[in-house]
């Protein structure tokens, strides 16, 4: 059985990582992905692992919460990393180790596996996690929509009607050079109200459309998406 392994922090998960996984899936019978904890990005390990699970449900995930901090090619660091990887595998045999980094050599030796480098020069997918952490908006073409949505902080203004939520959402979006989400409930009310009222069935139609529009705007957002209310307000009313 051909079993592959790749690992990383996936901070964030991008098209280069996807190329690595898809290359491995085409070559092995089973693929294991080890996801490391990190403070490089404010996204929890389980969320980063969830990206891979959603996009590649056939992959076996190992969550590495207590991985060593050292990074480099000194004998001490290499030994520490190798020992940790072997301990997390718990005797699982690996035939192919996939990477695009220098550590592919020593880790594959420790695993007694084929050293499979994929796009090490970053020519096929010219992006890196470090670049995306600096400016994910500029590099969003290299990020799957599911991943990019989790990189955006949604800021919602809630309150009674005519308290300035729309003005605040628009002003904050302008200040942060991003987009904002108008209140869909207000738009729906203006179009469908009878004697200034909506039925309960009509109220239930507001949330799905608001969420659809909000999701679409998230992919156009730069770091923040400012929302003029959200379906929670509809629920309260």
Number of domains, the chain: 2
Check residue 237 and give its pLDDT. Answer: 67
- CATH code, domain carrying 114: 3.40.50.620
Do residues 97 and 190 share a domain?
no
Check residue 72 and give its pLDDT. Answer: 84
pLDDT tens for the chain, 237 residues long, are: 999 999 999 999 999 999 999 999 999 999 999 999 999 999 999 999 999 999 999 999 999 999 998 788 899 999 999 999 999 999 999 999 999 999 999 999 999 999 999 999 999 999 999 999 999 999 999 999 999 999 999 999 988 888 899 999 999 999 999 999 999 988 998 999 999 998 989 988 999 999 999 999 999 999 999 999 888 877 776
Do residues 54 and 166 share a domain?
no
At residue 25, φ and ψ (nearest 5 deg) are -60, -30
- CATH code, domain carrying 182: 3.40.50.300
- What is the torsional sign of CA 209, 215, 220, 222? positive
Given a contact cutoff of 8 angstroms between Cβ atoms, the answer to whether 90 and 63 are in contact is: no
Check residue 40 and give its pLDDT. Answer: 93
Contacts of 95 (CB under 8 A, 6+ apart): 1, 2, 3, 4, 28, 113, 114
Check residue 231 and give its pLDDT. Answer: 83
Q: State the Cα angle at 121 between 119 and 125, rounded to 5°.
A: 55
**What is the residue range of 124's domain?**
3-144
Element (H, E) at 96: strand 96-99
Check residue 211 and give its pLDDT. Answer: 93
- Tokens (6 digits) for 237: 């009313």
At residue 197, φ and ψ (nearest 5 deg) are -135, 155
State how far the Cα of 122 lies from the Cα of 139, in Å rounded to an integer: 14
Do residues 119 and 195 share a domain?
no
Do residues 63 and 92 share a domain?
yes
- What is the torsional sign of CA 39, 42, 46, 52? negative
């Amino acid at each position: 059985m051909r079993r592959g392994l790749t690992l990383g922090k996936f901070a964030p998960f991008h098209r280069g990582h996807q190329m690595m996984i898809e290359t491995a899936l085409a070559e092995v019978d089973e693929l294991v992905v080890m996801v490391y904890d990190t403070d490089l990005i404010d996204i929890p390990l389980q969320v980063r692992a969830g990206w891979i699970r959603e996009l590649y449900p056939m992959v076996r995930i190992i969550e590495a919460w207590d991985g060593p901090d050292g990074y480099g090619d000194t004998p001490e660091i290499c030994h520490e990393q190798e020992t940790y990887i072997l301990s997390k595998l718990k005797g699982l045999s690996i035939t192919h180790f996939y990477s695009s980094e220098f550590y592919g050599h020593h880790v594959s030796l420790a695993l007694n596996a084929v050293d499979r480098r994929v796009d090490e020069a970053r020519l096929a997918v010219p992006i890196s996690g470090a670049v995306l952490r600096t400016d994910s908006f500029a590099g969003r073409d290299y990020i799957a929509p599911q991943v990019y949505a989790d990189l955006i902080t949604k800021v919602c203004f809630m309150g009674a009607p005519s308290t300035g939520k729309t003005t605040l959402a628009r002003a904050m979006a302008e200040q942060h050079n991003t987009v904002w989400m108008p209140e869909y409930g207000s738009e729906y009310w203006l179009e469908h109200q009878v004697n200034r009222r909506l039925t309960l069935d009509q109220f239930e139609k507001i949330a799905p459309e608001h969420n659809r529009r909000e999701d679409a705007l998230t992919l156009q957002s730069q770091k923040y998406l400012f929302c003029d209310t959200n379906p929670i307000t509809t629920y309260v009313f």
